[in-house]
Amino acid sequence: MRVLSDGRRGGSRRATTTFAFLLRADALLTVATRPTHVLDRLAGPPAGAPEGAGRIVVAVIQAVAGEYLREVVRIDDDIERLERQLRRSQRNREVIGLLDLQRRLVRLVHALEGNRDVVRGLVDDAVPELGAVGDALSRAAVEIEQALEMARVTEQMLDQTMDAFTSVISNNLNVVMKFLAALTIVLTIPTIVGGMWGMNVPVPWADQRWAFAALNAGTIAVCVAIALWFRGRGWW
């Protein structure tokens, strides 16, 4: 089965490792590919479990399920924190953080699905070395199922969050592009007016002292009118 190891993979992401039981008539051995203190976290035998190796196996499975539940809760807290930060900014760091959480959840779901199959196999096969731990093992299987369901729900919520923020970012980009387009049009009007009355050909009011002020006032009025029109259409 897969358990959470004590090592880290990039920042706060916890890695998973393979954890195996070797059962004999007089001994119980555990093997892990990475350091893990899952046995140190055992608070005691599960309620109703008989004595023997089966009791320890069930207790380990329940401890592993509890670790996964706590890890999913931590991921859910991280998602809420990044959501609050994304509401205030559109930096890449928060989006990358959500992608990292998404990868973590995928790994957790994959590991929990494997653990569920392992525990189901123990329940269905009634391994002789485990003794009479059928009821306790069934309860451990339920805890694994609960952890898996919680991880799946969190994964779905994160997918929806990513889709929502992608839409928000795309909408914000469209708003900025519309604003820049409207601003460009408004700022182009003085250039057009100045170019028309700046040619070396006879133009109206060329000999009038008030012509420059009138052209400026007219240009400003046109710019304001177009800006108000854009604002009415939601471009400003």
User: Considering only the top CATH level, what class is 2-168?
Assistant: mainly alpha
How far is the CA of 135 from the CAs of 13, 73, 138, 140, in angstroms? 34, 27, 5, 9
Distance CA 48, CA 115 (A): 22
Looking at residue 221, its pLDDT comes to 92
How far is the CA of 183 from the CAs of 153, 202, 226, in angstroms? 45, 31, 10
Looking at residue 8, its pLDDT comes to 56
Q: Specify the 3-state DSSP secondary structure of 43.
A: coil
Distance CA 83, CA 37 (A): 32
Distance CA 46, CA 62 (A): 8
Distance CA 102, CA 22 (A): 34
Residues 6 or more apart in contact with residue 125 via CB below 8 angstroms? none
Residue 198 main-chain phi, psi, to 5 deg: -105, 5
Residues 6 or more apart in contact with residue 113 via CB below 8 angstroms? 148
Distance CA 124, CA 52 (A): 20
Looking at residue 53, its pLDDT comes to 67
pLDDT in tens, the chain (236 residues): 788 876 555 445 567 888 887 877 667 778 887 877 776 766 555 444 445 667 777 888 888 888 888 888 888 888 888 888 877 766 677 778 888 888 888 888 988 898 888 888 877 765 555 555 667 778 888 888 888 999 999 989 888 888 888 888 888 888 888 888 888 888 888 888 888 777 777 777 777 788 888 888 988 998 899 888 888 877 76
Domain limits, the chain: 2-168, 175-232
